[in-house]
Amino acid sequence: MEAVVFVFSLLDCCALIFLSVYFIITLSDLECDYINARSCCSKLNKWVIPELIGHTIVTVLMLVSLHWFIFLLNLPVATWNIYRFIMVPSGNMGVFDPTEIHNRGQLKSHMKEAMIKLGFHLLCFFMYLYSMILALIND
């Protein structure tokens, strides 16, 4: 059972890593002016909810399977994702708003956030991998 949990987490984590990379690539495209803000934001906004769900699922799974350390590790990031999603002003077109992304260094902060998440997910990836192997051996 333990192994199943971690296999699932591992797969989920892989998806999140790919998503983070996609965010980084898209944002840097915008930075380099290869795509315009409108299409960049509509692309990214599509993936905000899947990312949020994917991450929340892992977090909840860890809680349910009583892996406290991993749960606590995931909690701040999951909370941030939800907070960010909820706090979008009613007039904005999503977490990424094409009219504001070039203002006040938003692009940079989005970029920074995506990088941090990538690092976090990589860390989690190896943690899950280790836990999975450990669980498989124990089985």
Partner 1 sequence: MSAPAESPHPAASARISPKLGGATASGAAAPAGPGPAPHQQNGPAQNQMQVPSGYGVHPQNYIAPSGHYPQGPGKMTSLPLDSQCGDYYSGLYTVPTQNVVTPNTANQQPGAQHMYGRGPPAPHIVGSTPGSFQGAASPTLHLHTSAAQRYSHFVNHYSSPAVYSANSSVASQGFPSTCAHYAMSTVSTAAYPSVSYPSLPAGDPYGQQMFTSQNAPTVRPLRENSFSGHSTAISHPSPLPPPPSHQYHQPQSLSGCSTLSWSASGLPSTQHNIVRNHTGSLATANSNPTNTVTDSLSCPVMQNVQPLKSSPVVSTVLSGASSTRTPPAANRTVEPVASVTQPSELLQQKGMQYGDYVNNQASSAPTPLSSTSDDEEEEEEDEEAGVDSSSTTSSASPMPNSYDALEGGSYPDMLSSSASSPAPDPAPEPDAAPAPAPASSAPQPSKMAKPFGYGYPTLQPGYQNATAPPNSGVAPSSPGYSGFQPYAQQYPGMNQLSSGLGGLSLQSSPQPESLRPINLTQERNILPVTPVWAPVPNLNLDLKKLNCSPDSFRCTLTNIPQTQALLNKAKLPLGLLLHPFRDLTQLPVITSNTIVRCRSCRTYINPFVSFIDQRRWKCNLCYRVNDVPEEFMYNPLTRSYGEPHKRPEVQNSTVEFIASSDYMLRPPQPAVYLFVLDVSHNAVEAGYLTILCQSLLENLDKLPGDSRTRIGFMTFDSTIHFYNLQEGLSQPQMLIVSDIDDVFLPTPDSLLVNLYESKELIKDLLNALPNMFTNTRETHSALGPALQAAFKLMSPTGGRVSVFQTQLPSLGAGLLQSREDPNQRSSTKVVQHLGPATDFYKKLALDCSGQQTAVDLFLLSSQYSDLASLACMSKYSAGCIYYYPSFHYTHNPSQAEKLQKDLKRYLTRKIGFEAVMRIRCTKGLSMHTFHGNFFVRSTDLLSLANINPDAGFAVQLSIEENLTDTSLVCFQTALLYTSSKGERRIRVHTLCLPVVSSLADVYAGVDVQAAICLLANMAVDRSVSSSLSDARDALVNAVVDSLSAYGSTVSNLQHSALIAPSSLKLFPLYILALLKQKAFRTGTSTRLDDRVYAMCQIKCQPLIHLMKMIHPNLYRIDRLTDEGAIHVNDKVVPQPPLQKLSAEKLTREGAFLMDCGSVFYIWIGKSCDNHFIEDVLGYPNFASIPQKMTHLPELDTLSSERARSFITWLRDNRPLSPVLHVVKDESPAKTEFFQHLIEDRTEAAFSYYEFLLHIQQQICK
The reply on whether position 109 binds partner 1 by CB under 8 A is no
Whether the Cβ atoms of residue 15 and residue 123 lie closer than 8 Å to each other: no
The reply on whether position 105 binds partner 1 by CB under 8 A is yes
The reply on whether position 27 binds partner 1 by CB under 8 A is no
- Compare residues 46 and 102 and give the one whose CB is closer to partner 1: 102
d(CA 30, CA 85): 21
The reply on whether position 99 binds partner 1 by CB under 8 A is yes
Q: Name the residue among 118, 104, 102 with its Cα closest to residue 31.
A: 102
Q: Which residues are CB-neighbours of 99 under 8 A, at least 6 positions away?
A: 37
Burial category of 47 from C-beta neighbours within 10 Å (exposed 0-12, middle 13-18, buried 19 and up) = middle
The reply on whether position 38 binds partner 1 by CB under 8 A is yes
The reply on whether position 91 binds partner 1 by CB under 8 A is yes
Q: Which of 103, 137, 138, 139 binds partner 1 (CB under 8 A)?
A: 103
The size of the interface with partner 1 (CB under 8 A), counted in residues, is 19
Residues within the interface to partner 1 (CB under 8 A) = 30-31, 33, 36-38, 89-93, 98-99, 101-105, 107
